[in-house]
Amino acid sequence: MKIVYLTSVDPSAHDAAAVHVQGTCKSLSALGHKVLLIHPGPTMTKPVRLDWVESQICCWWPPLRGGYRIFDWLAVQSLRKVVRSWHPDVIYLRFGASRRLARTIKLLSVPTAIEINGVEFDSNDRSLATIRSSDLILVDTDRMREVFVDRNKDLENRVHVHETFVTDPEKFRPLDRDDCCHLLGLSPDCIRIVHTSSFQSWHDFQTIVDAVLQLEGKSEKDIEVVFVGNGPLKANLEKTLTQRLGGIRFRFPGSVEHEKIALYLGASDIALDLFTRSRLENGKNMGAYKLYEYAVCNKPIVTAVSEDFVPPDWARDNFALIPPEDPQALAAAIGRIIHNPLEWAKKAATAGDYVRANLNWDRATRTTLVHLERLIAENGTALAK
């Protein structure tokens, strides 16, 4: 299958969206399909070479106001040229709002699928124009399908659910804790709690700080909390929280390369995955990429869930589940893990085994391919008629 993957995500970035693009393209290529990737880049020359696709076209996205419009125009022009010269079987979109793209898709007469992720979905007219121009709409959860179809009932037959919440077991895996501490210059003689995020919201940050301060003096070892990623008022927070408060320390490494996150997780004893109430619709955090990254590293996990959400069996038994924005519940969960390390190590290993076997890019991509193959077959039948 020849696939044009058109995305407004920079695949060389260090965030969840980039990891998703990388994982999908790598798996498609590994399964024998030819992928031509059209993607944005910060410069007009010397794009980062991606050896896991057949070929790539990097379209300039200048870092200035209105830069997206320039990228949008370049990307659509590139798509037109590729379709004329390469004759792809399908176009796969993970793209921002674009009426220009919507008009072009209608003219190209190539089966087109678009991927919508709930946390990124924007229901404005430009986004809907792109979505409506596509023959297949892939969403990430059953809840997202319900919400989308409720607003766009005429598109119901085009909307399908596919797996996107997976991880890369080669990039994230169990590592020796002492080795990771040595590589990062961290002390191994403490209980280390790690929270990773491309942006740490103030609510999550405050909940974690309030909870950990309740644990002061209740552990035989010092407690160190590491916030990997950019946070609210980071410079101001560093002035107060990087200082030692009794037996508690706070660290702010800031934004790091995605591969380095695995080292911080390897150096940790507990991993946190928190969402505010407003972001927990239908247990949205169970779809967070970092949750699976934590799991395949065999780390005990504390995560927030909404009151009406029933987590899957593998998570219910192996994670410490708490209400959102509840420092007391978070402190209690961390305390249970600190005082029963062997029991939670077994739970973490069980969760890691499940994720490695069932929630990986190969399996998820095979599910997506079923939808794409059906789309191509249906389109071919329609053309024949």
pLDDT of residue 384: 42
What does each C-alpha distance from 143 to 114, 161, 167 come to in angstroms?
18, 10, 21
pTM of the model: 0.81
Same domain, residue pair 119 and 36:
yes
Write out the residue range of the structural domain in which residue 50 sits.
Answer: 2-166+360-384
pLDDT of residue 202: 60
- The dihedrals phi and psi of 216, each to the nearest 5 degrees, come to -60, 125
Same domain, residue pair 151 and 231:
no
Provide the 10 A C-beta neighbour count for residue 107: 10
| Residue type, position 14, single letter | H
Say if 159 falls within a structural domain. Answer: yes
pLDDT of residue 158: 95
What is the maximum span of the chain, computed from C-alpha positions, in angstroms?
76
Contact 256, 264 (CB under 8 A): yes
Same domain, residue pair 151 and 211:
no
pLDDT of residue 119: 57
Say if 171 falls within a structural domain. Answer: no
Say if 49 falls within a structural domain. Answer: yes
Say if 122 falls within a structural domain. Answer: yes
Distance of CA 52 to the CA centre of its chain: 19
Say if 63 falls within a structural domain. Answer: yes
Same domain, residue pair 162 and 192:
no
Domain with 34 in it: what CATH number? 3.40.50.2000
Rounded distance, CA 211 to CA 332, Å? Answer: 8
Rounded distance, CA 234 to CA 252, Å? Answer: 8
Same domain, residue pair 184 and 90:
no
42: exposed, middle or buried (C-beta count within 10 Å: 0-12, 13-18, 19+)? middle
**What three-state secondary structure class fits 251?**
strand
Rounded distance, CA 366 to CA 31, Å? Answer: 9
Same domain, residue pair 145 and 234:
no
Same domain, residue pair 141 and 189:
no
Say if 380 falls within a structural domain. Answer: yes
In the chain, the number of structural domains is 2
Kindly state the DSSP code that residue 49 receives in the 8-state scheme. P
pLDDT of residue 194: 94
pLDDT of residue 207: 86
**What three-state secondary structure class fits 166?**
coil
| Residue type, position 315, single letter | A
pLDDT tens, residue by residue, 10-28: 888 777 788 888 889 999 9
pLDDT of residue 41: 83
Residues 6+ apart with CB under 8 A from 238: 252
Contact 123, 269 (CB under 8 A): no
pLDDT beneath 70: ranges in the chain: 43-47, 118-125, 198-203, 230-246, 276-288, 381-385
pLDDT of residue 78: 96
Same domain, residue pair 241 and 202:
yes
Same domain, residue pair 64 and 136:
yes
pLDDT of residue 58: 92
Tokens of residue 240, six digits: 């107060």
Question: What are the DSSP calls for 180-247, one per residue?
Answer: HHHHHT--SSSEEEEEEEEE--HHHHHHHHHHHHTTTTSSSS-EEEEEEEE-TTHHHHHHHHSS-BTT
